[in-house]
Amino acid sequence: MLSVIFSLVALVVVAVSASPIELEGLEKRGLATVYTSCKNANQVALTFDDGGWIYEAHVVDTLNQWGAKGTFFVQSRMSNLTHAYNSGHQIGSHTWRHLDLTTLSWDQVHDQMWRTELAMQRILGVSPALMRPPYGNLNNNVRAVAANRNQSIVTWDFDSGDSVGLTVQESEQRYAQIAKQHPKNILTLNHETYASTVYTLLPYALKTLSAKGYKFVTVAECLNLAPYKKSGTTYKPGKPDGSWNCN
Whether the predicted pLDDT of 10 surpasses 50: no
Whether the predicted pLDDT of 118 surpasses 60: yes
* Tens digit of each residue's pLDDT (9 = 90 or more) over 22-62: 444 444 469 999 999 999 999 999 999 998 899 999 999 99
Whether the predicted pLDDT of 121 surpasses 80: yes
**Non-local CB neighbours of 196 within 8 Å, separated by 6+ positions:** 162, 168
- The pTM of the full predicted model, rounded to 2 decimals, is 0.85
Which DSSP string do the residues of 54-111 spell out, in sequence order?
TTHHHHHHHHHHTT--EEEEE-S--TTHHHHHHTT-EEEE--SS---GGGS-HHHHHH
Q: Where are the domains of the chain?
A: 34-223
Q: Which CATH class is domain 34-223?
A: alpha beta
pLDDT attached to residue 79: 74
